Amino acid sequence: MTRAFLIVLDSVGIGGAPDAAAFGDTGSDTVGHIADACAAGRGDNAERNGPLRLPNLCRLGLGSASEASTGRLPPGLARAPSDTAWGYASETSNGKDTPSGHWELCGVPVSFDWGYFPVTRPCFPRDLMEQLVEAENLPGWLGDRHESGTVIIQELGEEHIRTGKPIVYTSADSVLQIAAHEEHFGLERLLALCETARALVDPLNIGRVIARPFVGETPHTFKRTANRRDYSVLPPEPTLLRRHADRGGQVISVGKIGDIFAHDGTGREVKAPDNDAMFDLMLAETRTAGEHALIVVNFVDFDVHYGHRRDPAGYAAALEHFDRRLPEFEALLGPGDLAIITADHGCDPTWPGSDHTRENVPVLTLGGARPAGPVGHLSSFSDVGQTLARHLGITDMPHGRAFARTA
């Protein structure tokens, strides 16, 4: 079969991008700093201990790509065999957010500037919040600042339950996030609120509105649920997904891909609550996907549970678990298949703050149709999309260059 797979390990960056200084991220290195923490004994928890162990990802080139990106081989990682088709890519889009990274990976870099909310208290325009309150008959709102989602829910969750006021906050990304209790406030009410907010922030060019439902009754028991929903704007041009769907090709979106692409060209969408269940779904879809299918997967736990929460030990355990399962996926690939494992940005768990980091990303290829050797430094994530497009017989992608071996 001639099938294409794009597997995004959300936030698994491998060192500061060439323009990291413009984002305040010079020196960031998600994989490298996790490896450092593990080597120094700061990566131990109930699930793992000792140096970072990623033999399968390193066999595909993760260690070599990290070394090429940063100039050093992270402790515990190994170089790939000389004929392995690995590379690394730099982003050209103007943001280090999830939609920008995914869209560029699928051939559509973001050349415009997103709108952002200032790092002030309050951070949202007063008229915006008053319109939201009036439209949804709210008693008011809480938060109104830049903050980590888990922190602000712990701080304001009880007041939210008592008053019925939703928690509204943002980050360094172009985003407005609304947290509310699934039972006391209501999940459907939260989703309707976010749909209203999506329309209200369109004139501000805000990339995403995110519904952040949670459960629990006290700060110690509050927990965000898997019912998160992202409301993104449409990509500015047809992506790889849209172009393949328009040709009658089968598109399967696993995880939050549908939300990221505003459900444009995303075909059949399937979701799961965590990385392990997502891996099971990916295997199931791989077993049944037909000729010329395009399967796009996002493994979000790396970013949401460990990167933003600045948990290098948890991040290391999640990477090692993915690595152990990787041969299950490889065994299902045929001689005509091409799979690319990559990332959309970094989220260095040792970096100050709780935001994404501007980093290069690994480009690891699998399947019988992979190149015969290293592919080098890709100057745009769009090279990934162009390569997958060429593999599927799509010839009209306007951005990126299909890669081939460089040595």
Give the tens place of pLDDT for each residue, 75-117: 999 999 999 999 999 999 999 999 999 999 999 999 999 999 9
Q: For residues 2 and 15, what is the distance between their CA atoms, to the nearest angstrom?
A: 33
Sort 367 into a burial class: Cβ within 10 Å, 0-12 / 13-18 / 19+. Answer: buried
Distances from the Cα of 222 to the Cα of 141, 149, 179, angstroms: 19, 11, 11
pLDDT the model gives residue 406: 66
**Mean pLDDT of all residues in 139-167:** 97
pLDDT band at 377; cut points 50, 70, 90: very high
- The sign one gets for the Cα dihedral 218, 221, 225, 231 is positive
**Other Cβ atoms within 10 Å of 186 Cβ, number:** 14
Mean pLDDT rounded to a whole number for the chain: 97
Sort 237 into a burial class: Cβ within 10 Å, 0-12 / 13-18 / 19+. Answer: middle
CATH topology of domain 4-111+236-392: Alkaline Phosphatase, subunit A (3.40.720)
pLDDT band at 195; cut points 50, 70, 90: very high
Q: Which of 125, 128, 143, 207 is nearest to 174 (CA)?
A: 207
Q: Which of 365, 402, 329 is nearest to 87 (CA)?
A: 365
pLDDT in tens, 319-354: 999 999 999 999 999 999 999 999 999 999 999 999
Q: For residues 245 and 54, what is the distance between their CA atoms, to the nearest angstrom?
A: 35
pLDDT the model gives residue 407: 53
Q: For residues 306 and 114, what is the distance between their CA atoms, to the nearest angstrom?
A: 26
Q: For residues 154 and 31, what is the distance between their CA atoms, to the nearest angstrom?
A: 29
pLDDT in tens, 210-227: 999 999 999 999 999 999
pLDDT the model gives residue 396: 79
pLDDT the model gives residue 370: 95
Q: Give percent above pLDDT 90 in the chain.
A: 98
pLDDT the model gives residue 200: 98
pLDDT in tens, 36-80: 999 999 999 999 999 999 999 999 999 999 999 999 999 999 999
Q: For residues 43 and 37, what is the distance between their CA atoms, to the nearest angstrom?
A: 5
The verdict on domain 126-232 having CATH code 3.40.50.720 is: no
Q: For residues 33 and 201, what is the distance between their CA atoms, to the nearest angstrom?
A: 36
Domain ranges of the chain: 4-111+236-392, 126-232
pLDDT the model gives residue 230: 96
Q: For residues 374 and 338, what is the distance between their CA atoms, to the nearest angstrom?
A: 15
pLDDT in tens, 270-315: 999 999 999 999 999 999 999 999 999 999 999 999 999 999 999 9
pLDDT band at 123; cut points 50, 70, 90: very high
